A and B are shown apart, each in its own frame.
Chain A
Amino acid sequence: GENVEQHPSTLSVQEGDSAVIKCTYSDSASNYFPWYKQELGKGPQLIIDIRSNVGEKKDQRIAVTLNKTAKHFSLHITETQPEDSAVYFCAASSGGGADGLTFGKGTHLIIQP
C-alpha cells in the first residue's frame, strides 16, 4: 500500500518568515495530494490540494509543489501569522482512492511572535 513520510515533525519559525513542510510518497499511482490543518480540539480542515497533472498551485500565502518523478510534494506558507500555528498533515490517495487517503504523521508548526 501507500506510505507517506512527512518532515519535519516540529517546525518553529518567526512570525513573518516562511515555513516549508515536505512529504514523500511511495505509490506512483497516487494522483491526489491534499494538505490538512488541524487546530487543537478540532478535526482536520483542507487548506489546499493538488492533482498529479499539475506541478504547482497557489492560494494567497499558501502554495503546494509536486514532483512526480521524485515522488515528493511540499507545502509553503509565506508571511506566517500566529493563526498559522497548528498541526499540518499531508496525504496521498492510494489505490486510486480505493484505499482511502494515506496521511503523513503530521508537522506541528509553531509561529514565534
Chain B
Amino acid sequence: KAGVTQTPRYLIKTRGQQVTLSCSPISGHRSVSWYQQTPGQGLQFLFEYFSETQRNKGNFPGRFSGRQFSNSRSEMNVSTLELGDSALYLCASSLETLVNTGELFFGEGSRLTVL
C-alpha cells in the first residue's frame, strides 16, 4: 500500500512569491491534515480537510490556505511568502477526522526555503 506522497520535496522561493504544495493521501483515507515544522516552533497544526471540506484550522494567517479534491488529494498554498515561512511542511492522512482522533500517517514533507 503506497504511503502519503508529497510534492515537491524541496523548493526555493523568494519573498513575496507564492507556493503550492501537493499531497496524495493513502488510498481510502479521507482526512488530510497539514503541519508546519520548524526548529523553533516544532510541529504546528495548519488545517484539516475531510471530504473536500475544511474541518479545522490552526492559528496561521490567511496567507495559508488549502483545498481538497474529490479524490482526497490536497493542496496547500502560501501567498506573499515571508522569510519566516521557511519550514518543512508535512501532510498527514487518516481514515477518520481529527475529532475522532484517528492515527495520522505522515508524508516525508516538502522543505520550503524562502530567500
The interface of chain A, by Cβ under 8 A from chain B, is: 1, 31-32, 34, 36, 41-46, 49, 51, 89, 91, 93, 95-106
Contacts and interface: CB of A to CB of B under 8 A. Distances in A.
B95 to A, nearest CB: 13
Contacts of B59: 1
B42 A97 contact: no
Given A42-B108, A93-B98, A100-B56, A34 B103 contact: yes
A89 B43 contact: yes
Contacts of A36: 106
Nearest to A102: B45
A32 B98 CA distance: 10
B72 interface: no
A99 to B, nearest CB: 6
Contacts, number: 65
6 contacts: A34-B103, A43-B109, A44-B104, A46-B103, A49-B103, A98-B56
Interface of B: 4, 33, 35, 42-45, 47-48, 55-56, 58-59, 90, 92, 97-101, 103-109
Nearest to A33: B101
A106 B98 contact: no
Contacts of A41: 108
Nearest to A41: B108
Nearest to A98: B56
Given A43-B90, A93-B98, A106 B58 contact: no
Nearest to A104: B42
Contact of A97 (B4, B101, B105, B106): B101
Given A44-B43, A44-B90, A32 B101 contact: yes
